[in-house]
A = this chain, B = another copy of it.
């Protein structure tokens, strides 16, 4: 049940196809723009049919946005792994930093994708939708840390505020030439926001 070699093989084959589709898609989309490329084109460029594309990605937006899919999970995991005594501002800062550092790690690739997303309304919308999901998850994690109700105002506000910082940092980073250090931007943002994040909820 754990990891039979056959399952692992099938899984790797699947991953291979997905990677090829992603590669073809990112290349074409970055070059010609989101609306000017059809799914048929992407599939043909990857050497398969449109139907296969949709077996791997739920939508044309998905192939771009899923490139960032792991970030949300990583952020929540990082937040969950922070020591319990740490103030929320520091814990959230580390969580966002985990994300930002992952992005900065493959800077040129990430920059291309982020610019594509921020410059394409349809993609931006999907990205924000993902972020809304992350916000709920971060809020739940935060509520657990603080012993509060997950539906309360404060954890949601704090999670949303932290994600706003992430958003602004991405925007700032991608609008420049990429030379600005996103980690430093993140720390500056959290220095401003810390008092609100650590406030005692009434």
Contact = CB atoms under 8 A, between A and B. Distances in A.
Contacts of A131: 128
Interface in A110-130: 121, 124-126, 128-129
Contacts of A161: 160-161, 164, 193, 196
Contacts of A157: 164-165, 168, 189, 192-193
Contacts of A185: 153
| Chain A interface residue bracket vs B | 35 or more
A131 B125 CA distance: 10
A188 B196 CA distance: 12
A153 B168 contact: yes
Q: In terms of DSSP, what is the predominant structure of the interface of chain A?
A: helix
B189 A153 contact: yes
A93 interface: no
A154 to B, nearest CB: 7
A171 interface: yes
A201 interface: yes
Contacts of A197: 196
B202 A191 contact: yes
* A-B complex: 5 closest residue pairs judged by Cβ atoms: A160-B164, A196-B196, A125-B125, A128-B128, A195-B195
Interface of A: 121, 124-126, 128-129, 131-132, 151, 153-154, 156-157, 160-161, 163-165, 167-168, 171-172, 175, 185, 188-189, 191-197, 199, 201-202
